[in-house]
Amino acid sequence: MNAYSTTLAQYLEQHATDALASAITTLATASISISHLLDKGALAGIHGEAGNQNVQGEAQKKLDVISNDLLLSALTHNPHCAGVASEELDEISPANNDGTLLVTFDPLDGSSNIDINMTVGTIFSILPYHRQGQKACEDDFLQAGVNQVAAGYFIYGTSTMLALTLGRGVAMFSFDPSSQAYVLINDKVTINHSTQEYAINASNRRYWLPPVQEYIDGLVAGDTGVRGKDFNTRWVAAMIADVHRILIRGGVFMYPYDTKIAGKAGKLRLMYEANPMSFVIEQAGGASTDAVQRIMDITPTHIHQRVPVVLGAKEEVEYIKALHDKAGILANGDKA
Ligand code: F6P
């Protein structure tokens, strides 16, 4: 017997509108199916490539496609959902014209981890829809992250969990396989302002801007350098897992602007990854920028737009911004 008793359904009844509760329940139901498929692994025939590329030019895994189809079908049948946008699909899918919500999702973040039995997850963001009675189009989705009414992620790790914000803090739920329900384990997740742990793919160092190189050099120098303390690196190569670690025990995560691929302003997607994770991180007391500007203030120009991301412990996010300010450059290397 444990001390936890509030289910996701009870939490939503107390804290969310009927429309939001319904959309989040639909997402949670789909996540349980995805979690079961992941549990079966190779036995469910989900390992390996699907044989196509997604809109981002990445090889799709079989479970990317299955998860995408599951979420898309469930959400487009939800009466409150006016439209859906998936990281895996070129175009948005209009749903129910009378709905009041738009949902964007990354069906399986970190999917290259599936074949090696490591953590993956589903990230979602919910925006308001204002043109009831009319068919949703891409322009309706192009809202800054500050407009999000809810966001979160389902993480499929050693256990399946949900981190959720409705704009009043962050709640963490754990999936209970015996009752098949998400159960509240922490209704006030908070991130420390300072940290000694950072996450970045350091193999990209030669492509970074000078302020990011300077920052990481300072961390690597540890107590012999400007920071005067030692830091540890952690990199799961699935944003969902790196962000989850930060919510649980602190840290800073970066996928900064780099010059590796011409014309790409960083690797992560604003609407499917950066905005929902920024909402969660800010609501837990952390900060999230593109290195200089608050991510949730960026008005998207395209649903598949990419942005540099620096998020987590406030002190580190501010320190990185100060290095860019000192160098007089923006997050993409332009002069400030
Ligand atoms: O969405 C892309 C993603 O898988 C993120 O989840 C993760 O943080 C990043 O790519 C890993 O990138 P890299 O391959 O450079 O380690």
The answer to whether the beta carbons of residues 125 and 272 sit under 8 Å apart is: yes
Please, are residues 246 and 191 in contact by the beta-carbon 8 Å criterion? yes
Q: Give the chain's length.
A: 336
Reported as a pLDDT band with limits 50, 70 and 90, residue 55 is: low
Structure tokens at 304: 């598949």
Alpha helix segments (H runs only) across 78-198: 138-141
Mean predicted lDDT score pLDDT of the chain: 94
Residue 179, Cβ density class (10 Å: 0-12 exposed, 13-18 middle, ≥19 buried): exposed
Residue nearest to atom 14 of ligand 1 (CA): 237
Say what the pLDDT of residue 266 is.
85
Question: 110: CA distance to ligand 1 center in Å?
Answer: 6
Q: Ligand 1 atom 11: the closest Cα is on which residue?
A: 237
193 Cα to the center of ligand 1, angstroms: 24
Lowest mean pLDDT among 99-108, 121-130, 221-230, 265-274: 265-274
199 membership: H or E segment, kind and range: strand 197-199
pLDDT, residue 59, reads 63
pLDDT for 64 equals: 86
Quick one: average pLDDT of 133-158? Answer: 98
Among protein residues, the one whose CA lies closest to atom 8 of ligand 1: 239
* pLDDT, tens digit, 9 for 90 and up, residues 149-170: 999 999 999 999 999 999 999 9
Burial 132-157 (b: 16+ CB within 10 A, else e): eeeebeeebbebbbbebbbbbbbbbb
CA distance 191 to 213: 25
pLDDT attached to residue 260: 86
Residue nearest atom 4 of ligand 1, based on CA coordinates: 110
Strand partners, 255: 309
Window from 24-28, 37-41, 52-56, 217-221 with minimum mean pLDDT: 52-56
d(CA 287, CA 313): 7
Do the strands 93-94 and 81-86 form a parallel or antiparallel pair, or are they unpaired?
antiparallel
Q: Binding site for substrate: residue ranges? A: 109-112, 201, 267
Does the reported pTM lie above 0.85? yes
Q: Which residues have C-beta within 8 Å of that of residue 138, sequence separation ≥ 6?
A: 85, 91, 92, 303
Q: How far is the CA of 42 from the centre of ligand 1 (A)?
A: 23
Q: What is the pLDDT of residue 1?
A: 52
Q: What is the pLDDT of residues 68-83, one digit of tens each?
A: 999 999 999 999 999 9
The pLDDT, as a whole number, for residue 164 is 98
Comparing CA positions, the residue from 167, 329, 316 lying closest to residue 251 is: 316
Q: Is the pLDDT of residue 58 over 70?
A: no
pLDDT tens-place string over residues 263-274? 777 899 999 999
Beta bridge partners of 195: none
Atom of ligand 1 nearest to the CA of 111: 4
Tokens standing for 261? 């691929």
Q: What is the mean pLDDT of residues 125-147?
A: 98
Burial category of 208 from C-beta neighbours within 10 Å (exposed 0-12, middle 13-18, buried 19 and up): buried
Q: What confidence category does residue 57 fall into, taking pLDDT thresholds of 50, 70 and 90?
A: low
User: Which protein residues are within 6 Å of ligand 1, measured from CB?
Assistant: 109-110, 201, 237-239, 255, 267-268, 273
Q: Which of 164, 218, 205, 158 is nearest to 188 (CA)?
A: 164
